Amino acid sequence: MHHIEQVYINGEFVSPHGTERFDLYNPATACVIGQVRLADAVDGERAIAAARAAFPAWSKTTKQVRIAALQRMHAAVAARHDDLLEAVVEEYGAPASRSAWMASYPAEVIAQAIAALEAFEFTTVAGAARVEMTPLGVAGLITPWNSDAGFICGKLAAALAAGCTAVIKPSEMSALQTQIVTEALHAADLPPGVFNIVTGRGDTVGETISRHPHVAKISFTGSTRTGKAILRNAAENFTRVTLELGGKSPTLILDDADIKQAIPLAVQAGLMNSGQACVAGTRILVPQSRKAEFEQALALAVAAVASGDPRDAKTVVGPMVSERQWQRVQGYIQKGLAEGARLLAGGVGRPEGTRDGWFVRPTLFTDVHNQMAIARDEIFGPVLCVIAYRDEAEAIAIANDTDYGLSALVLGGDSGRARRVAQQIQAGRVLVNTLTHEPKAPFGGFKHSGVGREMGAWGISAFMEPKSILS
Ligand code: NAD
């Protein structure tokens, strides 16, 4: 059993004022594997005060001092790779393909921030003005459970690069990953108060951060619903926000696509991270003229996806993170059937050969129209919809007929045409015939998928305000 009893404030592990114990589960067994003592609003206030006290000195540090600090963070987080790997399998159920990435990404994203900081111009000239990029102040960093360690490191590295200090409120469900990252960051020997980590509930610690007049910036990754609540709270103090929210991304297969190349990419895009990915391509748009052919190939591919024990090397889809998430996925599969969609693979219940854990059957529906709940709502599980379109214009219209706009994938034989289609899709990131991730590019969403961008110079600028000086 894991017992996590302390939070991290002002450079020290301390017992929180909060006394609530929150159970941690292994989603592959549905068994309790530990408990975390949660911070409360008082701890949130203390962490903000520590970050505020550390801001004047940190904001005046040179680029070289910040790069050196980020390099120490990078080395310390990289050294905990194996511990992170075990934690993401144990508390999260990440299968091999995902867990390897989740264990290495936290250090990688710090390295990306170092490269961005090295190239960052803090002072530029605009006409007669000298424009100085100025750090905003204390940053509140709020992360979700689906890649907790990576989001902590990415947001913190960008905030510190900009000269901000930080209060981090990680997801209460990812306390093992948070503990490992906190120990690593402590070992990086940054000045006390520059970063503080208080694991607690969203409606206590999260609300304290998003309403606080001494927090100048919120960087949040999580659901669109919580993002709206944070935006409302932030309005009171004009707190700047970056919001990375949900998605219902389209995979648009053009009529000239090579089926052998398109199907593996479409299935991988839809089922990444066991379907629990903000960028998952869960709406697969196929040409009416080739509908039967794509249905058959997709059905075979989804039915062949191994869902079960994350420690089995063959597993592609691991368990859902919680019983609540499992119930939500079951509910949407039932809703799809009730709405008249036709099941091509999967369905309700657990996959054969699994028991106890929160395992789901990778599921594929067809005869879906874009107004059905399964085509509109972010399910956050391995449930894919096939939607047929008549022509390219209708395909683009369906792709854009969503509240979200985080990511999209276009698959087609003529790459020039596929790129022209990509340009017409309203999403922060559109991939054409590839699933490659480019960490140097800005990341974020259109519409209800968020506000602002992370990564690269965009990510650092998000923690700053330009100041024009004329003399
Ligand atoms: P969530 O919104 O429930 O929680 C995210 C974080 O917000 C947690 O730390 C939670 O405790 C906190 N929180 C909850 N209520 C709060 C409040 N009122 N004020 C402040 N903080 C509060 O999201 P989740 O279930 O942890 O994560 C899944 C969601 O995250 C999905 O919708 C997914 O699409 C989204 N997500 C988006 C991205 C992206 O980059 N766009 C990446 C990963 C996940």
Contact between 251 and 284 (Cβ < 8 Å): yes
For the chain, report the end-to-end CA distance as a whole number of angstroms.
Answer: 63
- The C-alpha atoms of residue 114 and residue 161 are separated, in whole angstroms, by 8
Ligand 1 pocket: which residues have CB below 6 Å?
142-146, 169, 171-172, 201-203, 206-207, 210, 221-223, 226, 229-230, 244-247, 278, 378, 380, 406, 445, 450
DSSP assigned state of 67: H
Residue 355's pLDDT is what?
Answer: 86
Active site residue 153: no
Nearest CA to 409 out of 295, 267, 205, 273 is that of 267
- From residue 336, alpha-carbon distances to 277, 332, 339, 367, 467 in Å are 20, 6, 5, 10, 52
The per-residue pLDDT for range 42-97, each reduced to its tens digit, is 999 999 999 999 999 999 999 999 999 999 999 999 999 999 999 999 999 999 88
User: Which CA distances in Å does 33 have to 2, 5, 36, 181?
Assistant: 6, 14, 10, 19
Torsion of CA 297, 380, 177, 111, to 10 degrees: 70
User: How far apart are the CA of 41 and the centre of ligand 1, in A?
Assistant: 18
Closest CA to 140 of 7, 244, 241, 15: 241
Protein residue with least CA distance to atom 36, ligand 1: 222
Give the Å distance between the CA of 22 and the centre of ligand 1: 18
Pick out the chain residues at pLDDT < 70.
none
For ligand 1, mutation pick of 199, 217, 278 (most atoms within 8 Å of CB):
278
Q: Give residue 201 CA to ligand 1 midpoint distance, Å.
A: 11
Q: Mind giving me the DSSP string for 70-107? A: HHHHHHHHHTTHHHHHHHHHHTT---HHHHHHHHHHHH
Radius of gyration of the chain (CA): 22
Q: Are 196 and 9 in contact (CB under 8 A)?
A: yes
Strand partners, 287: 389
The pLDDT of residue 96: 86
Alpha-carbon distances, residue 110 vs 155, 227, 421, 464 (angstroms)? 9, 24, 34, 18
Ligand 1 atom at shortest distance from the alpha carbon of 449? 41
For the CA of 246, the closest atom of ligand 1 is 34
> What is the Cα–Cα distance from 87 to 76, expressed in whole angstroms?
17
Q: What is the pLDDT of residue 466?
A: 98
Instruction: Report pLDDT for 50.
Output: 99
pTM of the model: 0.97
Q: In angstroms, rounded to a whole number, what is the distance separating the alpha carbons of residues 72 and 171?
A: 25
- Say if residues 177 and 135 touch (Cβ distance below 8 Å): no
| 8-29: b (≥16 Cβ within 10 Å) or e | bbbbeeeebebeeebebbbbbb
Query: Which residue is listed with tokens 């799809």?
Result: 336
Ligand 1 binding pocket mutation candidate from 223, 232, 273, 380 (most atoms within 8 A of CB): 223
Question: What number does the ligand 1 atom closest to the CA of 247 have?
Answer: 34
How much is the pLDDT for 6? 98
The residue whose CA has the least distance to atom 9 of ligand 1 is 171
Which residue in 164, 172, 207, 278 is the catalytic one? 278
Do 381 and 354 touch, CB atoms closer than 8 A?
Answer: no
- For residue 284, report the phi and psi dihedrals to the nearest 5 degrees: -105, 115
For this structure, is 244 an active site residue? yes
Q: For residue 285, which of 262, 260, 251 has the smallest C-alpha distance? A: 251
Q: How far is the C-alpha of 143 from the C-alpha of 133, rounded, in Å? A: 26
- Digit-coded pLDDT (tens) for 430-445: 999 999 999 999 999 9
Q: What is the pLDDT of residue 253?
A: 98
